[in-house]
């Protein structure tokens, strides 16, 4: 179920019309939160945050008062899927990110790779004046090439390792994952960002996996050749991004750890949530600025600081 929420026709780019539904635990959804913030689209597209713990109807709005999203009036994201297609709306599952048309309550799109591209390219009339260009024309071929390898071996690779039910499949995914991480580590030794001299779509797609690596994938998904913190350039690069507005301020380690460890009970039947790693390590000096470049390019600037966290901070539920 895919549609274009931003082009001409049924779903034009119209401020106030759409609601972006995400889980802060999900790396695919996290990308859209970062891009929305970098582009300054907070006033144009509202944000709904689901509970990191799903029930038998999948993503739910139980963090909101009364367990109901205050804009959509829904208790579960599946209701937007069924509003779009009452017969088969949830046949392929209910996933985030999802863009929902507020007037009709219908799902518009859950096409996660194109959600971020559209937010960067199609909503230019509503972006902040000094927003960065995340998918510049002259770098698109290189960005696409980097994204292709990162998707298969890293973004999806950790899942292929974590959910493998055969030793050979696990080892294949594990080997490809660390071969790609080694390649990226070498690539980043002498350049600050993956492509070009400022943040692009490629950095956003890699970051959301790196942010979860030591907290979840390294142990929970058996991706344990080494921790991210034991890489050289790759760990410094990840900290550089984390300390850039729009990245670290959209990371929620509590949601991340609770979702993976308490929902995926075939992997973690005890549902015990680890207390570490210590988040403060992400704020240690990285010295990546010595490589040159600038986060937002020659004309872009950082988004304004968040006035408050994306969600109220609370303790881990044991």
Rounded Cα–Cα distance for residues 200 and 218 (Å) = 26
**Which residue is listed with tokens 């390649």?**
183
Strand partners, 48: 21
- Nearest partner of 288 among 248, 252, 241, judged by Cα: 241
End-to-end CA distance of the chain: 36
Q: Is 223 tagged catalytic?
A: no
Q: Which of 18, 26, 74, 260 is catalytic?
A: 26
Rounded Cα–Cα distance for residues 200 and 132 (Å) = 9
Q: Residue 266 burial (CB < 10 Å; 0-12/13-18/19+)?
A: exposed
Q: Is 159 tagged catalytic?
A: yes
| Integer CA distances (angstroms), 137 to 44, 133, 296, in order | 25, 9, 16
Cis-peptide, bond into residue 90, ω within 30° of zero = no
Q: Which of 18, 81, 135, 159 is catalytic?
A: 159
Rounded Cα–Cα distance for residues 158 and 179 (Å) = 13
Contact 38, 45 (CB under 8 A): no
- Nearest partner of 155 among 232, 210, 195, 99, judged by Cα: 210
**Which residue is listed with tokens 């004046």?**
129
Hey, what are 48's tokens?
């709904």
Hey, what are 63's tokens?
């963090």
Rounded Cα–Cα distance for residues 306 and 131 (Å) = 16
Q: What residues are annotated to the active site?
A: 26, 159
């Amino acid at each position: 179920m895919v549609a274009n929420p931003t082009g001409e026709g049924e779903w034009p780019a119209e401020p106030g019309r759409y609601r972006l539904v995400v889980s802060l635990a999900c790396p695919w959804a996290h990308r859209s939160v970062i891009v929305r913030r970098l582009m300054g689209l907070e006033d144009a597209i509202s944000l709904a945050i689901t509970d990191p713990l799903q029930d038998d109807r999948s993503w739910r709005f139980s963090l909101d008062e009364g367990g109901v999203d205050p804009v959509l009036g829904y208790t579960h994201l599946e209701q937007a899927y069924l509003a779009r297609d009452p017969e088969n709306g949830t046949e392929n599952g209910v996933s985030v990110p999802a863009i929902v048309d507020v007037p009709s309550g219908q799902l518009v799109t859950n096409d996660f790779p194109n959600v971020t591209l559209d937010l960067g390219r199609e909503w230019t009339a509503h972006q902040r004046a000094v927003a960065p260009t995340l998918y510049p024309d002259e770098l698109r071929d290189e960005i696409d090439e980097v994204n292709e390898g990162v998707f298969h071996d890293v973004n999806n690779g950790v899942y292929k390792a974590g959910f493998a039910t055969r030793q050979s499949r696990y080892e294949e995914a594990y080997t490809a994952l660390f071969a790609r991480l080694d390649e990226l580590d070498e690539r980043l030794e002498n350049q600050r960002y993956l492509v070009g001299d400022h943040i692009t779509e490629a950095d956003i797609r890699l970051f959301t996996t790196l942010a979860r690596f030591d907290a979840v994938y390294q142990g929970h998904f058996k991706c344990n050749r080494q921790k991210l913190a034991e890489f050289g350039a790759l760990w410094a690069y990840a900290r550089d991004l984390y300390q850039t507005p729009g990245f670290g301020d959209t990371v929620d380690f509590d949601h991340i750890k609770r979702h993976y460890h308490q929902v995926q009970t075939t992997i973690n039947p005890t549902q015990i949530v680890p207390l570490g790693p210590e988040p403060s390590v992400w704020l240690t000096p990285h010295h990546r600025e010595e490589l040159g470049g600038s986060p937002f390019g020659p004309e872009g600037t950082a988004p304004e600081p968040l006035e408050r966290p994306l969600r109220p901070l609370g303790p881990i539920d044991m």
